Amino acid sequence: MARLFYLCILAGVVLTVLAAGVYPLPQHTRYRSMVSVVPDGGREEVFSMHWPQDRVQPLQAGRAGPIQQAGDLAQLSAADGASASAEIFRVRDVAGNVIGLASRSVTTVAGAAPDAGWVLLIPSRGTLFLGQQQRGDGAPAGGSVTGGTGEFAGLAGSYDEVRQTGKTAADGSSSGQIRLITRVQAAP
């Protein structure tokens, strides 16, 4: 019985290798990283998102419950005034190529400045975690690189969130670009 089991596993491996030769796995395009070297020995990279076209819809319309949808923003509110929101965007490099996804979450506790965090997922390179505390007026401030995986593992540094607003449409909707400018180097 054990011999039959091992023979079946071997046959499965052989058939899988043969099938992969006949039907090769898809080759995803990996765009070259557009990284600049900065004088202190680190590197700088710019990730951008265009809104509203790069926003990914987080919820189905008409979904009931404590989660409310404001446009393309998922918001969760508590009775004590605390709230949390999440947005998901397609991430672009400086050449405009879509290279991954970014998730921005903001949490607010009554009486404190909101905390914001970005998670950038770039499938061919890894994940980059960014965190910041916003100013009291809600405007984005600089933050820090809090971790990463893959190519971003073991990096430390800072980033700036820059919002460039376009023209406001007649219906009140806005458009623009969010740029995350990261400056990282190997963690000490």
Express each pLDDT in 18-54 by its tens digit: 887 787 777 777 787 888 888 878 899 999 999 888 8
Domain extents in the chain: 38-167+175-186
More confident residue, 70 or 53: 53
More confident residue, 26 or 164: 164
The helix or strand, by DSSP H or E, that contains position 162, with its residue range, turns out to be: strand 155-165
pLDDT of residue 137: 61
**Stretch 121-126: mean pLDDT:** 90
The helix or strand, by DSSP H or E, that contains position 28, with its residue range, turns out to be: none
25: amino acid identity, one letter: L
Within 10 angstroms of residue 56's Cβ, the number of other Cβ atoms is: 12
Sign of the Cα pseudo-torsion (39, 142, 146, 99, in order): negative
Query: Is 38-167+175-186 assigned to CATH 3.30.70?
Result: no
Q: What's the whole-model pTM score?
A: 0.72
The backbone region for 71, taken as left when phi is positive above 0, alpha when psi lies in -120 to 50, beta otherwise, is left
Mean pLDDT, the chain, rounded, equals: 81
User: 2-6, 69-73, 141-145, 164-168 — which is least confidently predicted?
Assistant: 69-73
pLDDT of residue 58: 53
More confident residue, 110 or 158: 158
Nearest-angstrom CA–CA distance, 125 and 152: 7
